[in-house]
Chains A and B, each alone.
Chain A
Amino acid sequence: MSNALEITNLKARLGDLEILKGINITVPFGEVHALMGPNGSGKSTLTHVLMGNDAYEASGSALVGGIEVMGLPVFERARSGLFEAFQYPTEVPGVSLDDLTVEMIDVADDPSAARTRAEDASQFLGMDRFMDRAINTSLSGGEKKRSEMFQLAVAGPKAAILDEIDSGLDVDAVREVATMVESLRSPSLGVLVITHYSRILRYMNPDRVHVMVDGRVVESGGPEIAERLESEGYAAVR
């Protein structure tokens, strides 16, 4: 049986700068994993390389639901079932979330199912007042994350990577986002939650935690790793 996400020996460089030095991570369907690591360890780079950002020179394999996505253009990776929630969601002036939702529904495998997901998520996340506003423009940090979660729901991916979904949020908002992530759990989805702090993991139950330092996964294990990092810091794994 295929996994939601299976990353094998993924490497990436920017010119002379080697950022990812052979990453291996597998997220089975139905599971939520956390990827932790200090700033600059390469977490966002991993996200962008998986999504197909052509700024990086990449090699290795990434299977989404068993389908190789490396080498595909960005939109084909999205349509293969990969979703990236951005650490810093891009502002798209003059384009409302509603406009984008219409386009996303249009390209979905099953548009009527996507429409239903959009309606449900809009209600669940209380999106009404965001739909007419330009994407990520003059939204608070928490509103941007909510918008990313909404788009995730509309896309209905097989594998979702949430990059620092908790950054820049106050405690209440972190708890709220954690609840949203837990609500995503489904047998047809695997989630990789990227975080710098273990804070958000207090409100979630990750099945596994991976620790990345300097472009390598140095440790993978149960949630107890997050607890250890919280008390001892990244010094413990370096």
Chain B
Amino acid sequence: MSHFDQAVSTTAGVNDPAWRSTARSTAFGMFSDDAMPTQDDEIWRYVDLDFVMDDYRPSAGATVDLGDDPLAAHIPNPTVVRVVDGLFVGEDSFAEGFTVMSLDRAAAERSDMVEVALDRSGISADGDIFKAASAAFGGDGVFVHAARGIVAPSVVAIDIQAGSNGTASFPHVVIAAEEHADVSVVVHLRSHVDTEALIVPQFSIAVGDGARISLSLVQNVGYGVRSIGSLHAEIGSDALFRFGEIGLGGRLARLHLDVGLEGRGSAANVVGAYFGEQDQILDYRYFMRHVGTNTRSDMFLKGAVEDDARSVFTGMIRIEESGQKTEAYQTNRNLILSDGASAQSVPNLEILANDVKCGHGSTVGPLDLEQKYYLMSRGLSPDSADRLQVRGFFEEALGKLPHPELATPVREWINRKYETAQAEGRV
């Protein structure tokens, strides 16, 4: 018998309004029919999913508490909310035209608002078993909404704590900025270092015409956690979506990004920095769809792997026939720091319009010997020279983060990972 049955799904949806209830039971049907993806599916090609859902059980309530979020300490006057084991914990927060509340509660109390946002940028349950599971068994998380013209008074810092041991949780963050609104959110995804859990975070981002949403996601879960995330953003005319992802933790950490540049003049800036070690697998599937004219996108990711870690970046820029005067760029640079580590970097372009500017760059390689020689000629030990070079490698990505205040802690985390690897002789 499965841990993930109809009764569990029904219980998860006890507060659902009618539209969500329907969606949930459809999703449960899909979940029951879905098999675990295999590497024959192009979109899972580089990842061996060596587990089944029933290796985990649904989380039975918020139990973990990791204390204050160290990341939030770097953000000036944040509005802090917490999601533990998939459940919103704490107080809703309301300001003039600006709402930060439990998604479950919002779906019940502000049903229309949530429905509109999810109509636009919800993640389709028929994508795969994880997306179906999220719609069938999840439901809570955070709803961030800014009404027309509202500039959010503070950065929303969402502390998502992943699972008690052995659980699967499905936190969902929905961010909607109506016309000309401006919203800024930092998500810290974390767990105890030794937690073994599955977390399926979902991000639904609706950027209204002329609006801006800045979102940073710092993925810092322990090496026993599998994180299989999805982000779907739809961007209106002359609107801007800025997204930064920092990938540090997870035995398997995947993020499937799907950004639709729908409106004329819409833009997306996507930046990433990741560092894998031990036998971590970091899997990035980034899709950028240019639908409107005069749209602009830039994807820029830098990553390093050491030990037996593997990283995958598969980027796709698709420019529809309607996407004339588009500018789109993707860059992915990877450092291989140990013989056992590897990185796949696969940028793709699919261009159906004829008046566009596109560029892509992709590199995978070791530290640069000339740089090392130069630094050592200044008296730096080989280890110090490497450390400086690794640090320098990430600076370009850190300089593009939507929240510059995160650069300091992120730099420290990355440097510490590398220094530990040096101290333990893995690089």
Contacts and interface: CB of A to CB of B under 8 A. Distances in A.
Interface of A: 51, 53, 73-75, 77-79, 83-84, 86, 89-95, 99-100, 103-104, 107-108, 134-135, 151, 155
Interface string B383-417: 01100110111111000000000000000000000
Contact of B370 (A77, A83, A90, A103): A90
Contacts of A99: 388, 391-392
26 contacts: A53-B373, A73-B382, A74-B373, A74-B376, A75-B379, A75-B381, A75-B382, A78-B377, A83-B377, A89-B374, A90-B370, A92-B371, A92-B374, A93-B395, A94-B391, A94-B393, A94-B394, A99-B391, A103-B380, A103-B384, A103-B388, A104-B379, A107-B379, A107-B384, A134-B392, A155-B379
Contacts of B396: 93-94
Given A92-B392, A93-B393, A134-B392, 19 more contacts: A51-B377, A75-B376, A75-B379, A78-B376, A78-B378, A84-B377, A86-B377, A89-B374, A90-B370, A90-B373, A90-B374, A92-B388, A94-B394, A99-B392, A100-B378, A104-B378, A107-B380, A155-B378, A155-B379
Interface of B: 370-371, 373-382, 384-385, 388-389, 391-396
A53 B377 CA distance: 9
A108 B394 CA distance: 27
Given A90-B371, A92-B371, A92-B374, A108 B389 contact: no
Contacts of B371: 90-92
B381 A107 contact: yes
Nearest to A81: B379
Contacts of B370: 90
Given A74-B373, A86-B374, A92 B379 contact: no
B189 to A, nearest CB: 26
Contacts of B379: 75, 78-79, 104, 107-108, 155
B393 A100 contact: no
Contacts of A94: 391-396
A116 to B, nearest CB: 17
A182 B385 CA distance: 31
A131 to B, nearest CB: 15
Contacts of A107: 379-381, 384
Nearest to A91: B371
Contacts of B378: 78, 100, 103-104, 151, 155
A100 B374 CA distance: 11
Given A90-B371, A92-B371, A74 B377 contact: yes
Contacts of B391: 94-95, 99
B392 A93 contact: yes
Task: Choose among B384, B392, B395, B396 the residue with the greatest number of A CB atoms under 10 Å from its CB.
Answer: B392
Contacts of A83: 377
